């Protein structure tokens, strides 16, 4: 990989509090994108000049587009109309990628619809490589470097906080850290109407985290706590990072920082680390725009200093912040009210070996 991309994927490390270190990325998804392509090339799953295809509306898509341009691969990205904005779409296309936008009237992200499009396109284009970020083990494996950077910079890590989408960054980093610190406490940050920890999937105002399906790379039995952050709480936390630290970041980072700062303040003798995965450039006209915020029904809301504790997954409003002691259980243990049919519709299929990649 060239020196620019290597620098671009390296996080900036700084302290939000004396016992809270943050890893802030310009483009975090370069880590898994690079390793997935490297391994595919080494193993013969990605031939020279072959087409790459993936479902993405954000940073993984951008990372793949940058790498595909560097390595001279054609790239197709499948996204949903509810997720992609015009400026980001233009940036993807300027890198030479084909962008297929699937209509998504439910505004849920429609992951199953996008995956169906990918399967059809692969059938029409033999030799296409599909990284399958949701269950490709190279996704979490790529975060060994992040774990090493955190340990080198901070030494002991007692708690790791991170948002969850594919599960790769949080579970990958946590897995490596737990090999050094077995008592590591892991906190997952999700949002309402995300299927990852038991909500029924639906339209989500807060983007960059959450999912409408449950990826295999999300290892529920490594999670100690789950926090669901409403969009309005994340937006306020994001703007505070900018005004208090000069950190111009996105709302996924804001949500993670909100939870990490709360945990660190309650546990002053514990050394906490938080992953801040996105920057603020995409959000100039939304999160950082007072007029846009004022147009949202329910805005403004009272800023919360701590979460409401739950005894089971429950959806709340955009001004909410809730948490559940997950206790490293599998998802089914926390979904007593869900039917088996509900669960099977939202959990990703088991991995299988094909020329297009690993799993589904």
> Are 176 and 291 part of one and the same domain?
yes
Question: Could you tell me how far CA 286 lies from the centroid of its own chain?
Answer: 19
Tell me which of 154 and 104 has the higher pLDDT: 154
Which pLDDT score, from 0 to 100, does residue 13 have? Answer: 97
Q: Mind listing the pLDDT tens digit for each residue in 32-50?
A: 999 999 999 999 999 999 9
Closest by CA to 114, choosing from 83, 69, 74, is 83
148, pLDDT greater than 50: yes
Q: Is residue 359 part of a domain?
A: no
> Are 152 and 104 part of one and the same domain?
no
Show which of 56, 90, 124 is a domain's final residue: 124
What's the average model confidence in pLDDT over 246-268?
98
What's 85's domain CATH number? Answer: 3.40.50.1100
Which pLDDT score, from 0 to 100, does residue 2 have? Answer: 61
Which pLDDT score, from 0 to 100, does residue 184 have? Answer: 98
Q: Is residue 360 part of a domain?
A: no
> Are 108 and 219 part of one and the same domain?
no
3 state SS for 170-211: HHHHHHHHHHHCCCCEEEEEECCCCHHHCCCCCCCCCCCCCC
Q: Is residue 91 part of a domain?
A: yes
Res. 344 pLDDT band, cuts 50 70 90: very low
Res. 107 pLDDT band, cuts 50 70 90: low
Closest by CA to 171, choosing from 206, 135, 199, is 135
Q: Mind listing the pLDDT tens digit for each residue in 170-181?
A: 999 999 999 999
> Are 165 and 220 part of one and the same domain?
yes
Contact 219, 172 (CB under 8 A): no
**Cα separation, 45 vs 41, whole angstroms:** 6
> Are 93 and 155 part of one and the same domain?
no
3-state helix, strand, coil in the chain (%, to 5): 40, 20, 45
Q: Is residue 189 part of a domain?
A: yes
> Are 102 and 193 part of one and the same domain?
no
Q: Is residue 65 part of a domain?
A: yes
Which pLDDT score, from 0 to 100, does residue 226 have? Answer: 98
> Are 285 and 185 part of one and the same domain?
yes
> Are 118 and 143 part of one and the same domain?
no
Res. 332 pLDDT band, cuts 50 70 90: low
> Are 155 and 284 part of one and the same domain?
yes
Q: How high is the mean pLDDT of the chain?
A: 89
Q: What is the DSSP string of 276-316?
A: E--BSGGGTTTTT-HHHHHTSTT-S-PPPSSPEE-SS----
Q: Is residue 262 part of a domain?
A: yes
Q: Is residue 187 part of a domain?
A: yes
Q: Mind listing the pLDDT tens digit for each residue in 218-228?
A: 999 999 999 99
Tell me which of 313 and 6 has the higher pLDDT: 313
Which pLDDT score, from 0 to 100, does residue 351 have? Answer: 34
Domain count within the chain: 2
Tell me which of 295 and 1 has the higher pLDDT: 295
The residues near 290 (Cβ < 8 Å, ≥ 6 apart) are none
**Cα separation, 335 vs 346, whole angstroms:** 12
Question: b/e map of 171-204 (b: 16 or more CB within 10 Å)?
Answer: bbbbbbbbeebeebbbbbbbbbbbbbbbbebeeb
> Are 303 and 182 part of one and the same domain?
yes
What's the average model confidence in pLDDT over 84-94?
85
108, pLDDT greater than 70: no
> Are 110 and 186 part of one and the same domain?
no
Show which of 85, 102, 124 is a domain's final residue: 124
Q: Is residue 226 part of a domain?
A: yes
Which pLDDT score, from 0 to 100, does residue 352 have? Answer: 33
Which pLDDT score, from 0 to 100, does residue 350 have? Answer: 34
61, pLDDT greater than 50: yes
Residues of the chain with pLDDT > 70, as a percent, come to: 89
Please state, as a whole number, how many other Cβ atoms lie within 10 Å of the Cβ of residue 208: 23
Show which of 71, 102, 124 is a domain's final residue: 124
Can you give the residue range of the structural domain that contains 255?
A: 4-27+137-325
> Are 172 and 218 part of one and the same domain?
yes
Which pLDDT score, from 0 to 100, does residue 337 have? Answer: 39
Tell me which of 116 and 340 has the higher pLDDT: 116
What's the average model confidence in pLDDT over 332-349?
41
Please state, as a whole number, how many other Cβ atoms lie within 10 Å of the Cβ of residue 355: 15
104, pLDDT greater than 90: no
Element containing residue 341 per DSSP (H, E): helix 340-346
Which pLDDT score, from 0 to 100, does residue 6 have? Answer: 83
Res. 347 pLDDT band, cuts 50 70 90: very low
Residues of the chain with pLDDT > 90, as a percent, come to: 74
């Amino acid at each position: 990989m060239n020196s620019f991309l290597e620098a671009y994927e390296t996080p900036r490390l700084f302290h939000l509090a004396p016992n809270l270190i943050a890893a802030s990325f310009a483009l975090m998804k370069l880590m898994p994108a690079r390793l997935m392509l490297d391994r595919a090339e080494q193993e013969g799953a990605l031939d020279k000049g072959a087409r790459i295809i993936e479902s993405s509306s954000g940073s993984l898509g951008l990372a793949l587009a940058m790498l595909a341009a560097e390595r001279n691969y054609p790239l197709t990205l499948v996204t949903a109309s509810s997720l992609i904005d015009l400026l980001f779409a233009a940036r993807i296309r300027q890198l030479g990628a084909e962008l297929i936008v699937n209509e998504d009237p439910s505004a849920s992200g429609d992951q199953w619809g996008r995956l169906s499009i990918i399967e059809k396109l692969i059938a029409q284009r033999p030799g296409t490589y599909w990284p399958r970020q949701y269950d490709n083990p190279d996704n979490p494996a790529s975060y060994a470097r992040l774990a090493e950077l955190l340990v080198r910079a901070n030494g002991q890590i007692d708690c790791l906080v991170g948002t969850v989408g594919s599960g790769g960054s949080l579970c990958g980093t946590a897995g490596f850290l737990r090999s050094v610190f077995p008592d590591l406490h892991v906190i997952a940050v999700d949002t309402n109407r995300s299927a990852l920890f038991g909500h029924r999937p639906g339209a989500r105002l807060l983007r960059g985290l959450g999912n409408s399906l449950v990826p295999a790379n999300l290892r529920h039995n490594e999670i100690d706590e789950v926090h669901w952050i409403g969009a309005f709480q994340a937006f306020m936390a994001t703007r505070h990072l900018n005004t208090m630290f000069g950190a111009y970041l996105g709302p996924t980072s804001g949500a993670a920082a909100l939870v990490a700062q709360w945990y660190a303040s309650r546990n002053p003798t514990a050394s906490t680390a938080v992953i801040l995965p996105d920057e603020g450039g995409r959000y100039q006209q939304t999160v950082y725009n007072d007029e846009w915020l004022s147009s949202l029904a329910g805005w403004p809301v009272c800023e919360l200093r701590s979460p409401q504790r739950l005894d089971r997954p429950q959806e709340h409003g955009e001004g909410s912040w809730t948490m559940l002691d997950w206790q490293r259980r599998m998802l089914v243990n926390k979904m007593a009210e869900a039917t088996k049919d509900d669960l099977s519709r939202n959990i990703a299929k088991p991995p299988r070996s094909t020329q297009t990649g690993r799993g589904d």
